[in-house]
Copies of this chain bind each other. A is one copy, B any other.
């Protein structure tokens, strides 16, 4: 019997999806050309094109930080700036990777409560201020995160509105899709609808958090931005010589809806978890659960019981402006494709005490 999975710390603690591991094993046959000239990499182009229903340029890398920072380096000059939500991973959790890859461009984080950048905030910032003279880095890109760092989701209309704003301001539009599949599973729309049709120019398409071993794709819908991207990737050390093993992961991920099946499972478990917690006294959600993350305020005794029982998760912080409630603390609980109902229920049992 499978032991209880007590780790709710992140969606990157889980194992690789069997179908993805099998593809890697299948790829492990014979001598094939290196550096992207293999059949799996060719197939990746086709698969991504078909999934997104448009011609694209696709580049696989092993980490989300690489995908984001490389993508931005193709969109922003060294004297440029990138608008993003103040909670964005690129600004808060990548140790300055975007600054490194762009040669020192600035990230301009705009505050929000739920991680969703609003066109109004963007316009307000631009007006509030300060002109775009030679003394300022020139904003040339906008990056949004889908699902956001607070587990919330931009709807198609939301992205369209941001896309229009970005175009109006001459900004190219990047989507950090580390949890893109989780968002897509909730939205139920087509991948095209929530990306290029809504104005996204470049997508960092995550797979690692949702079943891959180490694989993300930078997808260029605006293919002019992909010029020399292969050199950018190479000089950053992100071109695998044995590229087949990177491409095979992504091909499997996007085949037979694996990405959506994995995401649906994780999302369903987050919802189950949130519902169960809400039945307890003193528990509140910081945000509606729309993907695979639960941000909740828990009474300290509950937290204590869970920790004592060996469940792992992070104590978090409150959204800007929220007032702490004495005797409680904010936490983040993340589910993954390998989280099962029994795992969630075991946690809820402990939480109830």
Q: A interface vs B, CB < 8 Å? A: 3, 5-7, 9-10, 12-16, 21, 24-25, 28-35, 61-67, 69-70, 73, 77-79, 81, 92-97, 99-106, 128-130, 134-138, 208-209, 213-214, 228, 230-232, 234-242, 245-246, 317, 336, 338
Contacts and interface: CB of A to CB of B under 8 A. Distances in A.
Nearest to A237: B66
Contact of A96 (B12, B100, B235): B235
Given A95-B231, A137-B231, 10 more contacts: A14-B31, A35-B134, A63-B239, A70-B237, A78-B232, A95-B136, A96-B106, A97-B236, A99-B105, A101-B104
Contacts of A208: 241-242
Contacts of A77: 228
A78 B100 contact: yes
Q: Which of A24, A73, A128, A235 has the most CB of B within 10 A?
A: A235
Identical copies in the complex? 4
B33 A9 contact: yes
A140 to B, nearest CB: 10
Nearest to A38: B13
A13 B28 contact: no
A69 B79 CA distance: 14
Contact of A135 (B5, B14, B25, B93): B93
A65 B239 contact: yes
Going nearest first, the 9 A-B pairs with the smallest beta carbon separation are: A66-B237, A99-B104, A12-B241, A7-B31, A103-B103, A95-B235, A65-B237, A79-B231, A100-B104
B135 A95 contact: yes
A34 B63 contact: no
A317 B128 contact: yes
A209 B35 CA distance: 13
Nearest to A68: B237
Contact of A29 (B15, B35, B63, B236): B15
Contacts of A14: 31
Given A136-B93, A241-B208, A317-B130, A32 B16 contact: no
A313 to B, nearest CB: 12
A245 B120 CA distance: 43
A12 B30 contact: no
Contact of A245 (B214, B241, B338): B214
A99 B75 CA distance: 17
Given A79-B228, A231-B79, A99 B106 contact: yes
Contacts of A3: 30
Contacts of A135: 92-95, 234
B10 A34 contact: yes
